[in-house]
């Protein structure tokens, strides 16, 4: 806009002063005037059109006053005197991590906090957020242009709320059973602050909680002891089941023998003996057969 307006003014000046500047220019004064008007018109039209890229909104500032209406993505017709500042409304992340490769403009070192039992805990966390498009003028007016909201809102709010909530829990609880509750409380507190300042909290990720080495070693030892106790309980249960199996098996054998002994008598034994002798006599082998009991025995000797 500026260059076209300047060019238009220069051409108009030449067109109206051509008679005094040079008689030879006076013949073209009409062209200079027409060119000047055209340049000014084009400059005004160019200044009245703003194209906002996808994922951004435009905030209008007129004579130092932030206008309430925002410019959505696409083609916009505006006051040519308005200055437009663009704000990114896509999802952004602010990471507090000990990994150097993740440190950037939107990242910091992990935060160190004191737990309820006085131990220092190191927390890696990622805050996922975006600007509320309708609140962009308010952010510009109260916080400032560009990425000022990151240093003035996102960083201090996230780190302060983490510290405020960490002091409620013991270090071991943060590391294990109350980690999800801790994350939920931080989310609620940061979300409330963000809403009041024109930001939307999409997600909060507690990536890692590091305890002092001595505490971590004690926790690992406790976990190992619990695992060994569970293993021993399993072994004892297995041995108990095996002992019960053997008891049932022995009881079955005992019951079987008792049933057999009750069913046997002298006549049955005599009958079985006769049956065995009949089969033996029918064989072709040489044989010696003793009949009777130990008192009244008789011997038969046979050959093939």
Name the domain count of the chain. 3
Q: Which residue has the higher pLDDT, 243 or 265?
A: 243
- Is residue 227 one of the residues assigned to a domain? no
What local confidence, expressed as pLDDT, does residue 1 receive? Answer: 54
pTM > 0.75: yes or no = no
Select from 161, 193, 211 the last residue of a domain. Answer: 211
By the 8 A CB rule, do 95 and 69 touch?
no
The number of CA neighbours under 13 Å toward the Cβ of 40 is 12
H or E segment and range at residue 211? none
Residues 201 and 100 both lie in one domain: yes
Q: Which residue has the higher pLDDT, 220 or 49?
A: 49
- Is residue 220 one of the residues assigned to a domain? no
Q: Which residue has the higher pLDDT, 135 or 266?
A: 135
Of 33-42, 69-78, 165-174, where does mean pLDDT reach its minimum?
A: 33-42
What local confidence, expressed as pLDDT, does residue 287 receive? Answer: 58
Residues 207 and 119 both lie in one domain: yes
Query: Residue 173 and residue 124: Cα distance in Å, rounded?
Result: 16
Does pLDDT of 241 surpass 80? yes
Segment 180-198, tens digit of pLDDT: 888 889 999 999 999 999 9
What local confidence, expressed as pLDDT, does residue 103 receive? Answer: 47
What local confidence, expressed as pLDDT, does residue 243 receive? Answer: 82
Own/partner pairs for 215-219, CB < 8 Å, 24+ apart? 215/119, 215/171, 215/172, 216/175, 219/172, 219/175, 219/176
Containing domain of residue 296, as a range?
274-302
Segment 100-133, tens digit of pLDDT: 555 444 667 788 888 887 888 888 889 999 999 9
- Is residue 23 one of the residues assigned to a domain? yes
Residues 44 and 105 both lie in one domain: no
Residues 119 and 19 both lie in one domain: no
Per the prediction, the chain carries an average pLDDT of: 76
Residues 179 and 122 both lie in one domain: yes
What local confidence, expressed as pLDDT, does residue 295 receive? Answer: 55
What local confidence, expressed as pLDDT, does residue 191 receive? Answer: 93
- Is residue 151 one of the residues assigned to a domain? yes
Residues 42 and 106 both lie in one domain: no
Q: What CATH number did the domain enclosing 141 receive?
A: 3.30.479.30
- Is residue 287 one of the residues assigned to a domain? yes
Q: If pLDDT is split at 50, 70 and 90, which confidence band does 299 have?
A: very low
Which residues face 126 on adjacent strands?
Answer: 95, 205
Residues 113 and 204 both lie in one domain: yes
What local confidence, expressed as pLDDT, does residue 90 receive? Answer: 92
Q: Give alpha helix (H) positions in the chain.
A: 2-21, 23-26, 29-48, 136-142, 148-149, 155-166, 171-175, 179-196, 213-263, 266-281
Residues 109 and 22 both lie in one domain: no
- Is residue 150 one of the residues assigned to a domain? yes
Closest CA to 121 of 238, 205, 206, 246: 206
Residues 104 and 24 both lie in one domain: no
Cβ neighbors of 97 (< 8 A, separation 6 or more) are 103, 107, 109, 110, 124, 126, 207
Residues 99 and 204 both lie in one domain: yes
- Percent of the chain beyond pLDDT 70? 63
- Is residue 45 one of the residues assigned to a domain? yes
Closest CA to 42 of 71, 82, 2: 2
Residues 6 and 106 both lie in one domain: no
Select from 165, 182, 211 the last residue of a domain. Answer: 211
What local confidence, expressed as pLDDT, does residue 242 receive? Answer: 82
What local confidence, expressed as pLDDT, does residue 190 receive? Answer: 92
Mean pLDDT to the nearest integer, 207-213: 78
Residues 47 and 104 both lie in one domain: no
Segment 260-285, tens digit of pLDDT: 666 666 666 666 667 766 666 666 66
Which residues face 131 on adjacent strands?
Answer: 199
Cβ neighbors of 56 (< 8 A, separation 6 or more) are 73, 86, 87, 88, 89
- Is residue 60 one of the residues assigned to a domain? no
Closest CA to 71 of 91, 88, 51, 89: 51
CA angle 185, 88, 147 (to 5 degrees): 75
Mean pLDDT to the nearest integer, 213-223: 69
């Amino acid at each position: 806009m500026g260059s076209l307006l300047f060019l238009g003014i220069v051409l108009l000046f030449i067109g109206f002063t051509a008679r005094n500047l040079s008689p030879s220019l006076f013949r073209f004064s009409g062209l200079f005037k027409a060119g000047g008007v055209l340049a000014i018109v084009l400059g005004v039209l160019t200044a009245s059109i703003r194209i906002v890229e996808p994922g951004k909104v435009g905030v209008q500032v007129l004579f130092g006053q932030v206008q309430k209406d925002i410019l959505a993505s696409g083609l916009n017709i505006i006051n040519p005197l308005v200055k437009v500042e663009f704000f990114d409304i896509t999802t952004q992340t602010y990471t507090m991590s000990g990994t150097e490769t993740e440190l950037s403009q939107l990242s910091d070192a992990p935060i160190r906090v004191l737990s309820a039992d006085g131990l220092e805990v190191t927390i890696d966390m990622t805050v996922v957020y975006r600007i509320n498009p309708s609140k962009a003028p308010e952010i510009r007016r109260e916080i400032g242009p560009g990425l000022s909201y990151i240093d003035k809102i996102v960083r201090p709010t996230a780190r302060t709320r983490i510290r405020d909530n960490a002091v409620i829990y013991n270090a071991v609880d943060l590391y294990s059973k109350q980690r999800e509750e801790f994350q939920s409380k931080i989310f609620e507190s940061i979300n409330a602050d963000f809403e009041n300042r024109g930001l939307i909290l999409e997600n909060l990720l507690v990536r890692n909680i590091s305890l002092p080495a001595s505490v971590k070693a004690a926790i690992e030892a406790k976990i190992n002891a619990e695992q060994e106790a569970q293993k021993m309980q399993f072994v004892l249960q297995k041995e108990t089941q095996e002992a019960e199996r053997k008891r049932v098996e022995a009881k079955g054998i005992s019951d079987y023998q008792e049933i057999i002994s009750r069913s046997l008598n002298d006549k049955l034994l005599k009958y079985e003996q006769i049956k065995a002798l009949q089969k033996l006599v029918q064989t072709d082998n040489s044989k010696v057969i003793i009949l009777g009991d130990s008192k009244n025995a008789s011997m038969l000797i046979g050959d093939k």
